[in-house]
Structure 1
């Protein structure tokens, strides 16, 4: 496996980035978020692009919906909440951990069979509660544990004789994932590295990532239809109650997925996808920028976006007063 993507087209640069949002306090701009963004239809039409959307990026966990399609196509069977956990960067609530434990137990396994690293729950409130109850870093609590449990189940369906190899790029599950990803992207994978959870991570352009997300949301394949039905039925599982991805799904009937290092994708059932990458890896502006771009291109009602942002974003405070906030500049 090549973990140094030197042969890939150039990664996103400062020159290829534009300002997408800024934070203002007491009338002055305090921070600026630069990056790139693309709104693309399932057939590849670019409705709006900002910055170099053809530069190479590691999609991080925004790739999970495409990985999950391969798990479905393996022939493995999943309940709806299990399928969404396989797609999730879950916050680590007891409800999330119970589903992953159920998946493992049904397959005759325990958390010791997972090869994601031991970690605390992703959500701050969930992490505090977990630690207060005596919890320690564990593979089960790691936010990718559902994905890894899904990899193991798909390996069983494919007849793999050595589940300890499930993260090997040549493992049948990982080879199926490559085929699924390239089919939805409409382009070849540009480079392969290693994600934070230890799984193979495949680089692409942001424009192709937006297109692939649109294709998933539109249900362009039977596997995509199955995944979308599960996501709509169990939106809490992909993130957590009240958290951004879950609320986008509940509000828009969409699929939404964050990725580490400043990424988010949102796909609408109408067949439009948006992908955002913040260059310095900050997550603060990702979902607001994505939603405002969907509104600006006529895909989502402006008032819906305004209400959603008011619900989820923290204002900038000076003492007890609100003195600023995030302003999307697209």
Structure 2
């Protein structure tokens, strides 16, 4: 059975400090690629297999774009997102569905409450219910449906790994990875998610993040358009006050977290980091990735420190901050 790395192949990436006592430790693997694509740093075994979870979304969104889906700006940002379900997010997803001539009922992702606290509270006050369009992956699903309509593919069963959409998506993903996927699993939203090496994921994200909108190659032009769309609309990729949006807004870093402690980032200069926490916790992933980019010289230390102060890294005791979640290096 395919499986991810063992504890013996991991290194300590983060600790939880409570009142000067190290209470918990997060081990994992990480890799940093320099702007030219060479390996700058390896922590643990980056050849190990992982499930990228939502960190795969930039690759899936690019497959939709390459497949002819008319996506740009905010709508392309939503296709790449794990959004927090605000009204602004939902409106953009509805725009994608409208372009496909479809509605919320055509989404195959499960119903969910908004991740944004204010949006959820408002929905509760209005006696609303969880819905498919509020689910954090609804932008990806809407983009997949639009790609199906654009190509004349049946929208029924669009999540099946054997559906033409998913076969096309897998082919694009493997081109970007530079390797064959090792296994196929079902993500939390119901879409296929593919086992890749951490190095392969880093290589794919590096290629996307270093692409130009004026490249002579169509795939790279589309990748450049995708990254530009997210950087110009950072609210789309995550949500107000949420980590991926914060690092994009403050540092110009293209970031996409995934469930089970996965994170990928591309700095403005093209330096790329990918990591996976062995215990599946993502609470330290953003901080560790930023620190790795700082160590690589891609981000200035004062800028990283200021951004870290905006992230949910404090440890509380008696209603006060008594410690912090912090990188272990």
Bin for the TM-score computed over the shorter chain: over 0.9
Q: How does 1:69-80 map to 2 (within 5 A)?
A: 69-80=62-73
Deviations 1:148-176 (A, max 9, x none): 0000101112221x211211222222112
- Contact 1:218–1:268 under 8 Å retained in 2: no
Q: Which residue of 1 aligns with 2:192?
A: 200
Unmatched segments (≥5 aa) in structure 2: 213-219
1:124 to 2:117 alignment: yes
Deviations 1:247-301 (A, max 9, x none): 1112222311110111111112422211121111111100000000000111111
2:120 and 2:33 map into 1 onto residues whose CA distance is: 36
Q: Which residue of 1 aligns with 2:13?
A: 20
Q: Which residue of 2 aligns with 1:3?
A: none
TM-superposed CA distance for 1:315, in Å, is 2.0
2:293 and 2:177 map into 1 onto residues whose CA distance is: 20
* Cα pair distance change 1:277/1:119, threshold 3 Å: same
TM-score, structure 2 normalization: 0.94
Q: Which residue of 2 aligns with 1:328?
A: 327
2:72 and 2:37 map into 1 onto residues whose CA distance is: 32
Q: Which residue of 2 aligns with 1:180?
A: 172
2:241 and 2:72 map into 1 onto residues whose CA distance is: 22
Secondary structure at the counterpart of residue 165 of structure 1: coil
1:212 to 2:204 alignment: yes
1:248 and 1:176 map into 2 onto residues whose CA distance is: 31
* Cα pair distance change 1:263/1:126, threshold 3 Å: farther
Q: How does 1:57-206 map to 2 (within 5 A)?
A: 57-160=50-153, 162-206=154-198
Q: Mean alpha-carbon deviation: is it higher for 295-304 or for 263-272?
A: 263-272
Count of residue correspondences: 322
Q: Which residue of 2 aligns with 1:257?
A: 256
- Contact 1:211–1:272 under 8 Å retained in 2: no
Q: Which residue of 2 aligns with 1:316?
A: 315
Q: How does 1:249-328 map to 2 (within 5 A)?
A: 249-328=248-327
TM-score, structure 1 normalization: 0.93
Q: Mean alpha-carbon deviation: is it higher for 194-203 or for 133-142?
A: 133-142
Secondary structure at the counterpart of residue 45 of structure 2: coil
1:245 and 1:186 map into 2 onto residues whose CA distance is: 26
1:173 and 1:186 map into 2 onto residues whose CA distance is: 20
- Contact 2:37–2:206 under 8 Å retained in 1: no
* Cα pair distance change 1:50/1:125, threshold 3 Å: farther
Deviations 1:124-150 (A, max 9, x none): 343233222222111111111110000
Q: Which residue of 2 aligns with 1:238?
A: 237
- Contact 1:56–1:204 under 8 Å retained in 2: yes
Unmatched segments (≥5 aa) in structure 1: 1-5
The alignment's C-alpha RMSD in Å is: 1.5
Secondary structure at the counterpart of residue 211 of structure 1: helix
1:299 and 1:41 map into 2 onto residues whose CA distance is: 9
After the TM superposition, list the runs of 4 or more consecutive aligned residues in structure 1 that deviate by more than 4 angstroms.
Answer: none
Secondary structure at the counterpart of residue 266 of structure 2: strand
1:287 and 1:313 map into 2 onto residues whose CA distance is: 10
TM-superposed CA distance for 1:104, in Å, is 1.4
